Amino acid sequence: MSDTTYRKIALVTGASRGLGAALAEHLAPAGWHVVALGRTMGALEELDDRIKARGGTATLAALDITIDDAMRHLCRDIHDRWGHLDLWAHTAIHAPPMSPADHVALKDWERCVATNIRAPGVLIPMVSPLLAAAPQRATALLVDDPAATGKFMGAYGASKAAQMALARAWQAECARTGPRVLVEAAAPMPTATRARFFPGENRDALTPCAVEAARLAALI
């Protein structure tokens, strides 16, 4: 299949598992070509198998979003191959072990800052020109986590709050000029991250990732 036949190009950062994987799996069979970025190639290959089984296509990018040069090369490759992005869905996070604020390990704090704050701040200027080049008004989707508050979640909650402040500023700045920036709170889902935060929770009462992905895709 020629690249020119792909009607819409979506970059999903954090596509290895959870909501990102579900969103990629939902979009691909619906006519999107998905650039699926995650740190774990094995998980991405499993995602690719599921996408292909449903008649979709994906490009796998086993990269760490905290490595600036890797992100520059990725964005350049997207530009050279397709010339634009129609969607950037950012679901990548780092959730450290729960800890009192005065006992947060420095390595965990630094990883939170690098992944949850610095990486989106670096990616927005890189991705924005690709979104601006889309034939129709493109969309950026950044996902909030209402559970990122409370005792023992200081590092995760603080870094996620900073990410959302950046996202909402970008949203307001682009309201007239584009791209369309969506900042959406995700429903509680039975992810591995949530299981660490809420052990023993009744997971049957949570929203499946596929259901939440379909809801967000409808907004796009």
**Is 3 a residue whose pLDDT tops 60?**
no
pLDDT category of residue 147 using cuts at 50, 70 and 90: confident
**Is 7 a residue whose pLDDT tops 80?**
no
Which of helix, strand or coil describes residue 140?
strand
Which of helix, strand or coil describes residue 128?
helix
The domains of the chain are located at 3-219
**Is 1 a residue whose pLDDT tops 70?**
no
**Upstream peptide bond of 208 is cis (omega within 30 degrees of 0):** no
**Is 90 a residue whose pLDDT tops 70?**
yes
Please tell me the predicted confidence (pLDDT) of residue 120: 98
Enclosing H/E stretch for 165 = helix 154-173
Give dist(CA 184, CA 140) in Å, integer: 11
| Domain at 3-219: CATH code | 3.40.50.720
| Span 93-102, average pLDDT | 94
Please tell me the predicted confidence (pLDDT) of residue 5: 54
pLDDT category of residue 166 using cuts at 50, 70 and 90: very high
Quick one: three-class SS letters along 10-78? EEEECCCCHHHHHHHHHHHHHCEEEEEEECCHHHHHHHHHHHHHCCCEEEEEECCCCCHHHHHHHHHHH
